[in-house]
Structure 1
Amino acid sequence: MDAATVRERAGELPRESGVYQFLEDETVRYVGKAVDLRARVRSYADPRSDRIGRMVERADALDFAVTDTETQALLLEANLIKRYQPRYNVRLKDDKSYPLVQVTGHEFPQIEITRDPDRTGATVFGPFTNKSTVETVVKALRETYGIRGCSDHKFANRDRPCLDHDIGLCTAPCTNEIGREAYLGDVESVERFLGGEVDVLARPLRREMEAAAQNREFERAANLRDRLEAVESFHGGDAGAISSRTDERTVDVLGAAVEGERATVARLHSERGQLVDRDHHSLSVPDGDDAAAVLGGFIPQFYAERELPDALLLSERPDDADVLDWLDAEGVGTRVPGAGREATLVDLALKNARRGAGNPDELRALADALSLPSAERIEGFDVSHAQGSSVVGSNVVLVGGSPEKRDYRRKKLTEKNDDYANMHDLVRWRAKRAVEGRDERPDPDLLLIDGGEGQLDAAREALTDIGWDVPAVGLAKAEEIVVTPNGTYNWPNDAPHLHVLQRVRDEAHRFAVQYHQTLRDDVSTALDDVSGVGPQTRRKLFRRFGSLDGIRAASDAELRDVDGIGEKTVTALRRRL
């Protein structure tokens, strides 16, 4: 896009606040915000840096969205950067998804915590930033109202209530221990609480706590008190509110370190003067950006879905005036301290950031070996089954070389004894969700397929079918050969970049096998009513023979080899099967 085209397109834009996007081949390459869209975009006819000049030159389209306020533009820009990960923006690579609470649309609704809500009839609440608080509140809701938390499979065809009913977590609608009308009334109460009516849950908890105290059940009363505090603060009530901005009860300290096109922001979180948490975040940085630019890009992206602290102590003043205006409007104090306790904290954050930026760069070695721009975020895929039954797939994520378990996903696949077809279906499922915008996770830098050339070809065919442009390689188990579309690599056993791929492969395999065993062991089978075959024996049979067909084909001697099975049980099995 040349200067004349930029001026022409800018003249078509309104003089309002909003967000603009430069695109190349329908891919978002840069996202920006503006108080005046027309004036801001026109400035790109004379780019302020070589990097921006290259971006404008390569762009072939421009898109924009108008917002009501400058703050909306700031937050929309942050969300779009996280969604599209544009090449020419500062990009937060380890962004998390947040837990939601959903009440499903079943005949007898189920309550569950999820990061991947059901989009067909479910009522979804959130997102929430503190998963432990969400778990506490959901358990309190279930204990108070008895809403089921079990899967559809476990709910169907039961003839007696499960353990959840025995311990008071469920009223057992599966066996008609409660009528549908009464059950739906309890569901309505749950939804009222999740919608903001705190007293729906707080009132019965308070009564129960007071009764426990009167009965001198002090440990139980203390537990109920803690639960009540979590419930009352769930929607930002008095228990979790900030009484005064000037008190600065919560303070975040941010230090940024830049090394080439990679940056690390370390965060120290303080509450009431005590450090209670610390973490660090990796970012992709356009060439030439400094720490001030990194913080200007990091702050709105990181805090767009999190509660802002009362104050931010920074190693550099962000170079984006709009970010500073937004923080000021939200009542957040921002300081770059020069001395004293606050400066000591900033120095500590900087040390953490520099340590993160200086890690052994096995990921950069991997990226260089595969000719990739980055290998910071890798997704691994594996399939597990027993001769075509209980077929499952795993999708694990490693960020910065470490497991990101919040982003793990698993998928039950159509039963067939074809490893290539199963891998095709698994990768196609992931790709389709990404392309349709139904997967909140950012696109990875690399996909790793557990397997050799056949599995990789199946995965790449799925990627091509859907149109998801993400590089993929395979890792064959036998000789640890890395398979790529352009050939194979036989790296030394001590190569650090090989170790990265092995960690991803092994984690995908572990996660797939774990899910497969759970699914296989839990399935209702023809063995359920066989005399002498309980849950443990059934598990042993399936692990030994793989399926009902395998058990049928086993000889009497092979069956007796299984611990716990004698002649009478063998006879009962033969009669039943």
Structure 2
Amino acid sequence: MDTEAVRARANDLPTKPGVYQFERGDAVLYVGKAVDLRDRVRSYADPRGERIRRMVARAERIDFSVTETETQALLLEANLVKRFQPKYNVRLKDDKSYPLVQLTDHEFPRIEITRDPDDAATVFGPYTNKGRVETAVKALRETFGVRGCSDYKFAGRDRPCLDYEVGLCTAPCVGEIDAESYLGDVDSVRRFLDGETGVLADPMRAAMEAAAGEQEFERAANLRDRLAAVESFHEGGAAAVQGEAREARVEVLGVAVEGADATVARLVSEDGKLVDRERHRVTAPEASEVSRLLSAFLPQFYAERDLPDAVLLQERPSDPDVLDWLEREGTAVRVPGAGREATLVDLALKNARRQTGRRDECAALAAELGIDAADRIEGFDVSHAQGKAVVGSDVCFVDGDESKADYRRKKLADENDDYANMRRLVRWRAERAVAGRDDRPDPDLLLIDGGEGQLNAALEALEETGWDVPAVGLAKAEERVVAPDRAYDWPSDADHLRLLQRVRDEAHRFAVAYHQQVRDAVSTTLDDLPGVGPELRRRLLRRFGSVEGVRNASEAELADVEGVGPATAATIAARL
């Protein structure tokens, strides 16, 4: 776009808060927020900096969305950056986003909390506190009976569902309420979401007072707590943390910039004790200042995460809107110069700088395999005892480190067939991904614990479901990486091989641990034996693998297990 095209488009925009997008074809090049959309977009007619100049020149059009407040503009910008990953924005490699509330464009609209709203829906938000949103939406449904069910559940019913029975819906699906009355209730919901808090708060307060008058004190207290959440729904977040200990939770962020990439290390301190640490990758369009990276990172990262009481940083964010938002949410921002807090910031910086080597091994692995990236790897393994208590593991590594929050596990049908079990496990993951039912982003690479047979089983599952993700296998015996079209013999000390080995070993550990948990939880004939309690039963099953293994063991072998004396060994042998 040239200067005149930008000015002409700016003149068409409102003078309200909102978000604007520079677009080319189907791609979003840049997302920005504005207090005044018209004034902010007009400034791009004379862009400052070569990077912005290139972006404007490449753009073909400018789209926009109006928001009610500047805070909503800040949060919507974070959501859209997460969704579109624009080339010219600072981007956190994370799939979290702030919740929205939508009223769908149906004959009988439904209300739901979503991150990906329908194009034709009326959308409200985004909001910073998902718990408060869930409380408000439930209260709206209890008060006005607006449905929350899927189209599939709504269609073709001949009697009301459980939501009607518990007072969450007025059952328009079977004509328990006429269309005009239902749409009137929907309008009340819309008025509340537009900011008219009394539409919902007034009937809730009346119900609370009635419950107290009838001495239903537990119900009155519950309504009081929900009313507080409803009344703070359109406010900042400070009301939600009243009564909590001052700065019980402090989070520390350290940023290390490496060219167009950066790593943000996060330390979590609760009541003065360091309880967690993790690292996150941030991609910037070019080398960026720490203050600018923090301005982008903070709203993107705390999407659907609880804000702490305080955040300690090495520099203050450059965007004053971010600082204003944190202040409204009740989060203090400090740049400590000395003392324990400064030591924590230094520790976070050291953690951030440690990531460089791990990033290199991910890049080397991607280059060796000929794939776009290997920053996010999921590893799969199956564990069972002769086809019994079959389970599968799905572990995740991000930038070479375990991401345990993204670990998953799955019970599988009992079958003594490693290939069929692996096919079933990968198909389960793939179907969830394709249907959008898995809340994790798609990985760059799947690693299968096993050789060609297990890999082929996994590839069949991928082909059947249409999930397009690269996959390789790694068998423990030969430590050879098997791809669909070839095998790789890498040096045993190659960093990228060691990365895959870490993923494979962790998948194996996680699967075995879950298998033992499932197996030990199953009631067996050992439960009925005198002298055999839960702990001894677990020892026997770990030693011999199954009840059949215990049955086949000699008395001497049984007596060799800790806690089994000669008399108990004789009893077990005789009974089994």
Q: Give the shorter-chain TM-score range.
A: 0.5 to 0.7
Pairwise CA distance, 1:6 = 10
Pairwise CA distance, 1:400 = 3.5
Paired residues, number: 441
Pairwise CA distance, 1:393 = 0.8
**1:242-281 map, 5 Å:** 254-266=253-265, 279=277, 281=279
SS in 2 for 1:498: helix
User: Please, which of 283, 286, 289 is the counterpart of residue 288 of structure 1?
Assistant: 286
SS in 2 for 1:562: helix
Q: Which residue of 1 aligns with 2:76?
A: 76
Contact residue 382 and residue 395 of structure 1 kept, 8 A? yes
Q: 1:22 to 1:469 in 2, by over 3 A?
A: farther
Q: Which residue of 2 aligns with 1:245?
A: none
Answering whether residue 384 of structure 2 is matched by residue 385 of structure 1, we say yes
Please, what TM-score do these two structures have when normalized by structure 1? Answer: 0.60
Q: Which residue of 2 aligns with 1:572?
A: 575
Pairwise CA distance, 1:390 = 0.9
Distance 1:519 1:79 in 2: 39
Q: Which residue of 1 aligns with 2:432?
A: 433
Contact residue 473 and residue 483 of structure 1 kept, 8 A? yes
Offset from partner CA, 1:321-376 (integer Å, 9 cap, x none): 54345346557676778x88799679837853663354463333323323444433
Offset from partner CA, 1:477-518 (integer Å, 9 cap, x none): 111111223422111111122111111111110110111111
Q: 1:485 to 1:532 in 2, by over 3 A?
A: same
**1:501-512 map, 5 Å:** 501-512=500-511
**Equivalent pairs: percent with the same residue?**
56
User: Please, which of 532, 556, 562 is the counterpart of residue 558 of structure 2?
Assistant: 562
Please, what TM-score do these two structures have when normalized by structure 2? Answer: 0.60
SS in 1 for 2:433: helix
Distance 1:190 1:513 in 2: 46
SS in 2 for 1:76: helix
SS in 2 for 1:240: coil
Q: 1:254 to 1:2 in 2, by over 3 A?
A: same
Distance 1:235 1:417 in 2: 52
Distance 2:377 2:37 in 1: 36
> Which amino acid letter does the alignment assign opposite residue 572 of structure 1?
R
Contact residue 256 and residue 352 of structure 2 kept, 8 A? yes
Contact residue 262 and residue 282 of structure 1 kept, 8 A? no
SS in 1 for 2:496: helix
Q: 1:343 to 1:309 in 2, by over 3 A?
A: closer
Q: 1:470 to 1:322 in 2, by over 3 A?
A: farther
> Which amino acid letter does the alignment assign opposite residue 381 of structure 2?
D
Q: Which residue of 2 aligns with 1:152?
A: none
Distance 1:538 1:335 in 2: 54
Contact residue 473 and residue 484 of structure 1 kept, 8 A? yes
**1:1-400 map, 5 Å:** 17-19=17-19, 32-35=32-35, 66-82=66-82, 89-93=89-93, 196=225, 236-241=241-246, 254-266=253-265, 279=277, 281-291=279-289, 292-304=291-303, 305-309=305-309, 313-315=313-315, 317-318=317-318, 320=319, 322-327=321-326, 330=329, 348=346, 351-352=349-350, 355-359=353-357, 361-400=360-399
Distance 1:5 1:468 in 2: 41
Q: 1:324 to 1:459 in 2, by over 3 A?
A: same
SS in 2 for 1:282: strand
> Which amino acid letter does the alignment assign opposite residue 350 of structure 2?
N
Contact residue 261 and residue 287 of structure 2 kept, 8 A? no
Offset from partner CA, 1:377-404 (integer Å, 9 cap, x none): 3221111112222111111222343323
Q: Which residue of 2 aligns with 1:446?
A: 445
Distance 2:555 2:4 in 1: 81
Q: 1:385 to 1:286 in 2, by over 3 A?
A: same
Offset from partner CA, 1:147-195 (integer Å, 9 cap, x none): xxxxxxxxxxxxxxxxxxxxxxxxxxxxxxxxxxxxxxxxx97997799
Contact residue 483 and residue 489 of structure 1 kept, 8 A? yes
What is the Cα-based RMSD across aligned positions, in Å?
5.2
Pairwise CA distance, 1:422 = 1.8
Distance 2:458 2:450 in 1: 10
Contact residue 380 and residue 504 of structure 1 kept, 8 A? yes
Pairwise CA distance, 1:435 = 3.9
Distance 2:528 2:12 in 1: 74
Structure 1 residues without counterparts, runs of 5 or longer = 99-125, 129-187, 199-232, 243-248
Offset from partner CA, 1:305-327 (integer Å, 9 cap, x none): 23254576543642x45434534
Distance 2:11 2:469 in 1: 36
Contact residue 315 and residue 346 of structure 1 kept, 8 A? no
SS in 1 for 2:490: coil
Q: Which residue of 1 aligns with 2:137?
A: none
Structure 2 residues without counterparts, runs of 5 or longer = 99-128, 132-216, 228-237
Distance 2:445 2:492 in 1: 21
Offset from partner CA, 1:71-128 (integer Å, 9 cap, x none): 1232233345456766654333478999xxxxxxxxxxxxxxxxxxxxxxxxxxx979
Contact residue 398 and residue 404 of structure 1 kept, 8 A? yes
Distance 1:21 1:508 in 2: 41
SS in 2 for 1:528: helix
Contact residue 96 and residue 406 of structure 1 kept, 8 A? no
Offset from partner CA, 1:179-216 (integer Å, 9 cap, x none): xxxxxxxxx97997799489xxxxxxxxxxxxxxxxxx
Contact residue 87 and residue 285 of structure 2 kept, 8 A? no
Contact residue 532 and residue 569 of structure 1 kept, 8 A? no
Distance 1:55 1:486 in 2: 40
Distance 2:499 2:397 in 1: 9
Distance 2:571 2:380 in 1: 43
Distance 2:7 2:554 in 1: 80
Q: Which residue of 1 aligns with 2:481?
A: 482
Offset from partner CA, 1:211-260 (integer Å, 9 cap, x none): xxxxxxxxxxxxxxxxxxxxxx9963424257xxxxxx987665432112
Q: Which residue of 1 aligns with 2:140?
A: none
**Larger RCO (CA under 8 A, 6+ residues apart):** 1
SS in 2 for 1:263: strand
